[in-house]
A and B are shown apart, each in its own frame.
Chain A
Amino acid sequence: MKTNIAKKEVFEAPSEDTGKMREIEEQIAQLKSEVEALSADSPENKLSMVVFSGDLDKVLAALIIATGAVAMGMDVVMFFTFWGTPVLRDKRKKVGGKDFMGKMFGSMLPKGTGAVKLSHMNMGGMGTYMMKSLMKKKNVASLEEMLQLAGELGVRIFICEMSMDLMGFKREEMIEYPNLSFCGVAKFLEEAKNSKVQLFI
């Protein structure tokens, strides 16, 4: 008799347990998929930056933040758009085959880092000249040097295809940079969405 009762208990207990176990297993599976979804969506240790401005001071600030971020161990992506686009033109490169408007914009917009001006106190170029000589005196890196450093540090640069098209720039006239590509807004948003820090300069 005793063994019978014992058997019954043993028999019934697991069926209750398996029910519970199944419940727990289901909860774990649900949690697992939730955690997976969360980690797939969680931002990376990355800085995504829009460089809209083509002003010397603002582009310099953008490059200082970009290189600093690499030092902090971050992955950095810069998107140059609108007035920021001509900053990345190579002054030594000449391309033909532009239409009238393209030629006009090409000659009116700065050609490369050496030609950009201060956002304030430009004073017909005198302010920019003074700032550049001050920067040299105080050992502050120039835009050219900062761009080169950014390239060495692995900062990725994207140039807005629409701005290029609008201003009549051609890919062949942009600077040699180790990690340069062309894109649209979706690429920026994809990167920005997964970045801990996003900036618009």
Chain B
Amino acid sequence: MSEAMKVDKVMDLKGLPCPMPVVKASKGIKEVEVDQVIEVLTTDPGALVDFPAWAKTSGNEILETVQADGVIKIYIRRKA
């Protein structure tokens, strides 16, 4: 994650299994403005496949995915 990137909302979804990460992220992203960025923290390995699929279908953009110590950080820009 580049230092310049501004995160407008952080969602800690650690410990929540399918379908919660995607369900909660889709709710949460509506609370920021279009073009703003949310950061999702999840421990669900399925999220690595699920979030790109969700973003593609819902019309949002995944900026970056970072994995460290069993936590997956996904940065998503609201587009829709």
Binding site for B on A (CB under 8 A): 64-65, 67-68, 70-73, 138-141, 149, 153
Contact = CB atoms under 8 A, between A and B. Distances in A.
B57 A72 contact: yes
Given A73-B57, A73-B58, A68 B17 contact: no
Interface string B15-31: 11111101101110000
Contacts, number: 37
Nearest to A65: B19
Category for how many chain B residues contact A: 10 to 19
A71 B25 contact: yes
Q: Is the interface of A mostly helix, strand, loop or mixed?
A: helix
B58 A139 contact: no
Contacts of A71: 19, 22-23, 25-27, 54, 58
B20 A141 contact: yes
Interface of B: 15-20, 22-23, 25-27, 54, 57-59, 80
A64 B22 CA distance: 11
Given A139-B16, A139-B17, A68 B22 contact: yes
A175 B72 CA distance: 38
A65 B22 CA distance: 11
Nearest to B23: A71
B34 to A, nearest CB: 15
B19 A67 contact: yes
Given A71-B26, A141-B20, 5 more contacts: A67-B19, A67-B23, A71-B54, A71-B58, A72-B22
